[in-house]
Amino acid sequence: GAGVSQSPSNKVTEKGKDVELRCDPISGHTALYWYRQSLGQGLEFLIYFQGNSAPDKSGLPSDRFSAERTGGSVSTLTIQRTQQEDSAVYLCASSSGGQGAGSPLHFGNGTRLTVT
């Protein structure tokens, strides 16, 4: 079946505008993650959804960032009042939740966000 799908693939926005990034996980995957990858940097954890449990929001860098996952499937990451330091590639990943925490993550191709 299809892999993790993210849209848009590229987004250029002006400083101060709000943006929404979308993630369609692999069908049936109960876990969904958002990470951020800045140029030349590693992956920074943002937020994690697992089934119907409360999401782990501990990685969100500020209250301008929020995410939701509707119906246990599609997720939207929203960044309000964007700043230039928000420029990065935002990666979404999903996993089946099988084997407990040992199931591998499947990543989308990411959304490259540029704040001008």
Partner 1 sequence: AQSVAQPEDQVNVAEGNPLTVKCTYSVSGNPYLFWYVQYPNRGLQFLLKYITGDNLVKGSYGFEAEFNKSQTSFHLKKPSALVSDSALYFCAVRPYTGRRALTFGSGTRLQVQP
- The binding site for partner 1 (CB under 8 A) comprises 31, 33, 35, 41-43, 45, 48, 50, 56, 58-59, 91, 93, 99-102, 104-110
Q: How far is the CB of 50 from partner 1 (least distance, A)?
A: 7
Q: Which two tokens stand for residue 104?
A: 């591998």
DSSP state of 28: T
CA-closest candidate to residue 105, choices 50, 40, 39, 38? 50
Q: How far is the CB of 67 from partner 1 (least distance, A)?
A: 13
Q: How far is the CB of 18 from partner 1 (least distance, A)?
A: 25
User: Cβ closer to partner 1: 18 or 68?
Assistant: 68
Q: How far is the CB of 105 from partner 1 (least distance, A)?
A: 6
Q: Identify the burial level of 99 via C-beta atoms within 10 angstroms of its C-beta, where 0-12 means exposed, 13-18 middle and 19 or more buried.
A: exposed
User: Cβ closer to partner 1: 14 or 40?
Assistant: 40
CA-closest candidate to residue 92, choices 76, 110, 68? 110
Residue linked to tokens 């990666």? 91
User: Cβ closer to partner 1: 33 or 79?
Assistant: 33
